[in-house]
Amino acid sequence: MTSEEKQVYLLLKAVIFFYHGLDQEEKEDLEAAARRMDAAEELKWALEFIEKDYITSFERARAFLNEIIGDYPKDKRVDLINMVWESNNLKGYVTEMEATAMLRLARDWNVEKEFVELVLK
């Protein structure tokens, strides 16, 4: 996995977690993901990206991710959105705000149908 792919993965995960406020379980999940990928610097970058302006972080991340992810193959875009869905389900629930954010990203990436199918499984 390239450094850019690690940034994309961790920013995507972090921005959804931060959408309603990062809780301890989500923080631990982010840190564990960074350890698994040997991506401490990429996690630091993602957190700084969000903390730069928490209020606009989702829209800024959305623009950043759309710029990069538009070139990814469809199956990789689906995998990324599914990863975030599964990460949120680890805590036992997904908030309406998180689901809406993921749906917006799936629509941006032209994988809305695939995302909905994954959710319904």
H runs (alpha helix) in the chain: 3-18, 24-37, 40-52, 57-69, 74-89, 96-108, 112-120
What is this structure's pTM?
Answer: 0.87
- From the list 75, 52, 79, the residue with the least C-alpha distance to 64 is 52
Residue 89 pLDDT greater than 90, yes or no = no
pLDDT in tens, 52-76: 998 999 999 999 999 999 889 999 9
Per-residue DSSP letter, 94: -
* Domain spans, the chain: 3-120
pLDDT band for position 18 (50/70/90)?
confident
Tokens in use for 28? 């631990």
32 sits in which H/E element: helix 24-37
